Amino acid sequence: MEENKTYKRPSWDEYFLKLAMLISERATCPRMHCGCVLVKNKQILATGYNGSIPGDVHCEDVGCYVVDNHCIRTIHAEMNAILQCSQHGVSTQGASAYITNMPCTNCAKALIAAGIKRVVIFSDYHATEAEEFFKIAGVEISRLKIPDRKINYNIDAFCSAVKFKEDK
Ligand SMILES: [Zn+2]
Ligand SMILES: [Zn+2]
What is the C-alpha separation between 125 and 35, in angstroms, rounded? Answer: 13
**Mean of per-residue pLDDT scores for the chain:** 95
Provide the 8-state DSSP code for 155.
Answer: G
What average pLDDT score do residues 12-24 get?
Answer: 98
Q: Answer whether residue 3 shows pLDDT above 60.
A: no
Distance from residue 1's CA to the centre of ligand 2 (Å): 45
Supply the DSSP string of 69-131, one letter for each residue: TEE-SSBPHHHHHHHHHHHHT---TT-EEEESSPPPHHHHHHHHHTT--EEEESS--SS--HH
pLDDT digits (tens, 9 = 90+) for 88-110: 999 999 999 999 999 999 999 99
Distance from residue 43's CA to the centre of ligand 2 (Å): 23
Distance from residue 83's CA to the centre of ligand 2 (Å): 13
Beta-carbon neighbours within 5 Å of ion ligand 1: 29, 59, 64, 71, 73
User: 3, 14, 60, 78: which one is catalytic?
Assistant: 78
Answer with the residue of higher pLDDT: 5 or 99.
Answer: 99
Provide the 8-state DSSP code for 51.
Answer: B
Distance from residue 17's CA to the centre of ligand 2 (Å): 17
Determine the pLDDT at residue 2.
54
CB-based burial label for 64 (10 Å; 0-12, 13-18, 19+): middle
* Contact in structure between 115 and 85 (CB atoms under 8 Å): no
Ligand closest to the CA atom of residue 111: 2
Q: How confident is the model at residue 167 (pLDDT cuts 50, 70, 90)?
A: confident
The whole-model pTM stands at 0.94
Q: Answer whether residue 62 shows pLDDT above 70.
A: yes
Beta-carbon neighbours within 5 Å of ion ligand 2: 76, 104, 107
Provide the 8-state DSSP code for 50.
Answer: -
Q: Answer whether residue 131 shows pLDDT above 70.
A: yes
Q: Answer whether residue 4 shows pLDDT above 70.
A: no
Determine the pLDDT at residue 116.
98
Q: Is 14 a catalytic site residue?
A: no
